[in-house]
Amino acid sequence: MVEDHPDTLNFLCLYLEGSGHEVQCASTLAESLEAIPKANCDVLICDVGLPDGDGWQLLAQLKKANHPHPAYAIVMSGFGTLSDRSKSAAAGYRHHILKPFNPRELGQMLQEAAAEAKSRED
């Protein structure tokens, strides 16, 4: 979970942990680039706007460095223009979710990610 707003990060991490997920939290691009390769996580949830870059750069830098990155990535943003959504898809994000969003919407995306992970294991 990557989010620069402390209250939002805290809420989402608590929500995800309460839903049974193991969560690692970061608030900057630099923290994320250090944590993600070590985390071996299945899902990345990332805010577009970060204080030292953006969520689109995050996936690009992970790919460029040949670091392992989650197969399933969700980007969060307050902007949802066609251009924003296209940029998210081109970066490799599976979903572009608009803030504020209903946590159930995120939960459905995580169920989809879990089903895909299970099918890759089978």
Domain boundaries, the chain: 6-121
- Burial of 13 from C-beta contacts in 10 A (0-12 / 13-18 / 19+): middle
Q: pTM for the whole thing?
A: 0.92
Distance CA 111, CA 64 (A): 29
Range 6-121 classified under CATH 3.40.50.2300: yes
Distance CA 115, CA 113 (A): 5
pLDDT digits (tens, 9 = 90+) for 6-43: 999 999 999 999 999 999 999 999 999 999 988 888 89
pLDDT digits (tens, 9 = 90+) for 62-109: 988 887 678 899 999 999 899 999 999 999 999 999 998 888 899 999
